[in-house]
Chains A and B, each alone.
Chain A
Amino acid sequence: MTNEAKQPMVITVSGDRPIHDIADDLRAAGFDVDQVLESIGSVTGSAHPKNADRLRGVKGVVDVSQDHPVDIGPPGATIS
């Protein structure tokens, strides 16, 4: 196996297939599923970046993106 670390990713799915079926296929494709967010059609978790294309090939997957940090504005500022 590669030494490359797994990265957190966000996968967006279509409503064409049951999301839990898609999640199972993602697991089989090397995705460590963290959350299956049924109400919004998202599956979050982590995978080796080199696997991203394989994940994109799973039926029902619309998008595979890396997870991003989120905040409330410039840190430490009075503007938020």
Chain B
Amino acid sequence: MPRKNNPKIAQDSTKQQISTSADDLLLAALERGGDTSKTGRHLMTFKEGAAEAGLQALQSRQGLRVANARDFDAQAVSFEQTGDADAIVFPEIGVALVSGEAAASHGLTTEATIAEDSPVHSIDPEYFMFVAGISPNDYLKGFLRAAQTIYADLGEQAAAEEAEVTPAVVGATWGLNACRVPPSNFSGNGIKVAVLDTGFDLGHPEFAGRSFVTNTFVGQPVQDLHGHGTHTTGTACGPKTPPGAIQRYGIGFQSQIFVGKVLTNSGSGTQAQVLAGMNWAIANRCAVISMSLGAQIPVQPSYTAAGAAALTAGCLIIAASGNASNRPGSIAPAGAPANSPTIVSVAALDNLLRVAPFSNGGKVDIAGPGVNVFSSWPRPILHKTISGTSMATPHVSGCAALLAQSNPALRGASLRSRLLATARHLPLPVTDVGAGLVQAP
């Protein structure tokens, strides 16, 4: 909503207070679009030994409300307790964090010219920080970006050559190839696929123009600040030809995506929230309901009943068996809801079609690729490679969507039978992989 009293201030800068949580900052950045790597706040670095002078300047000359890290016990700053402060100074490191609004209204942005006698050394944008998972694709992405830049510098001809070469080189993920997705003639067109997870990055550029129906059951916006839901949705429903040098990672590229946020941005939820999501997906007659979640608990009557209701309504619920095993020493039983007889339980395989060490056993119906799975991730990261029965599940869900499209009679129980009957048999125990590796029609 535009602020009428001060048009100079960007409309979203009010959300970029010192006390604003990282989640809310990220949410605001994703709503803004564009460069989502910056929080909208600014970091002011003072010259050596000039922190005190800098603090004075912010307070007296700029008239800002400035909090001081020294005022917190052991300087353990609690950002929530900074109230309406415009800035907070960290004297030990000679840095101040300035709110988006204060920076905009006082000209304290990166473009500002700094006087020679100023205590300020530089003003820079504050960037988001993410968990530093060792992800080979992030390195690869960096390399590809560098290569693209070099190509661009060499002129248009080189860029055109690159465009011709990439598709053949890029191909599809190992998981899609193992499930024989690329040669399939089906796209999931006309099939509703519900993914009950941590939500989805609705502004992910590779999903522009896609049809989404969304709902949240956890009191947080559907926008995925965790990443898990964006990853699983990417595998089940992602694009056929992602732009640039990105391999194909999505199966039902023309399916209609139902995003049910049943887990919070910290990746947790309650059974009641999950049941509410299942109820919604069935009420919307989603032919496929993908659930990369669970708990190591016995069979729950509520999930079994929900699975039965789904089959009656022509829907099929597909769930992760769980990651509580540590093979070969320990094989944990499938968790709930996958352990319910009315729900398809999915185990995870690696690229040599071995059971993943973490994959649960016992009540397993089918297996999917679940080790080093490349898929979408919320902006600005865009892609990530992770492992789990959570990643195997959407491979089965995506293939189920293609099967459902291949024959309108395949719904609910008949879809389940066909899914299991067409799986690739593997020389492994049924209690580990069920009917075998899921195959696209």
Contact = CB atoms under 8 A, between A and B. Distances in A.
Interface of A: 8, 10-12, 34-35, 37-42, 44, 62-63, 65, 67-75, 77-80
A35 B302 contact: no
A35 to B, nearest CB: 6
Given A10-B272, A71-B293, A40 B323 contact: no
Contacts of A78: 133, 386-387
A40 B390 contact: no
A71 B267 contact: yes
B208 to A, nearest CB: 26
A62 B309 CA distance: 14
Interface string B293-327: 11101001110111001100100000010111000
A18 B250 CA distance: 41
A26 to B, nearest CB: 14
B272 A41 contact: no
A35 B272 contact: yes
A40 B295 contact: no
B295 A72 contact: no
A68 to B, nearest CB: 5
Contacts of A35: 272, 275-276, 279
B268 A44 contact: no
A77 B272 CA distance: 25
Nearest to B358: A79
B263 interface: yes
Secondary structure of the A contact surface, majority rule: strand
30 contacts: A11-B302, A12-B301, A34-B272, A35-B272, A35-B279, A39-B279, A39-B309, A40-B278, A42-B275, A42-B305, A42-B306, A44-B275, A67-B271, A68-B271, A68-B295, A69-B270, A70-B269, A71-B263, A71-B267, A71-B268, A71-B269, A71-B295, A72-B197, A72-B388, A73-B320, A73-B388, A75-B267, A79-B323, A79-B358, A80-B386
Given A67-B272, A80-B267, A72 B198 contact: yes
Contacts of B282: 39-40
Nearest to B389: A73
Nearest to A71: B268
A12 B305 contact: yes
B99 interface: no
Contacts of A8: 270, 272
A65 B301 contact: yes
B396 interface: no
A72 B276 contact: no
A73 B323 contact: yes
A40 B305 contact: yes
A18 to B, nearest CB: 15
Given A37-B275, A44-B272, A63-B301, 11 more contacts: A8-B272, A37-B279, A39-B280, A44-B271, A70-B262, A70-B269, A70-B270, A70-B271, A70-B273, A71-B263, A73-B322
Interface string B390-426: 1100000000000000000000000000000000000
A10 B282 CA distance: 18
A79 B269 CA distance: 18
A77 B389 CA distance: 13
Contacts of A70: 262-263, 268-271, 273-274, 293-295
B228 interface: yes
Contacts of B198: 72
B120 interface: no
B292 A10 contact: no
Nearest to B309: A40
Nearest to A34: B272
B283 interface: yes
Nearest to B301: A63
Give me the 9 closest cross-chain CB pairs, A-B, nearest first: A63-B301, A40-B306, A37-B279, A44-B272, A80-B388, A39-B282, A73-B323, A79-B388, A39-B283
B294 to A, nearest CB: 7
Nearest to A75: B267
B336 interface: yes
B263, B301, B324, B336, most chain A CB atoms within 10 A: B301
Contact of A69 (B268, B283, B323): B268
Nearest to B131: A76
Contacts of A75: 267-268
Nearest to A9: B272
Nearest to B268: A71
Contact of A79 (B274, B309, B336, B387): B387
Contacts of A34: 272
Nearest to A36: B279
A10, A11, A34, A38, most chain B CB atoms within 10 A: A10
A72 B272 contact: no
Contacts of B386: 78-80
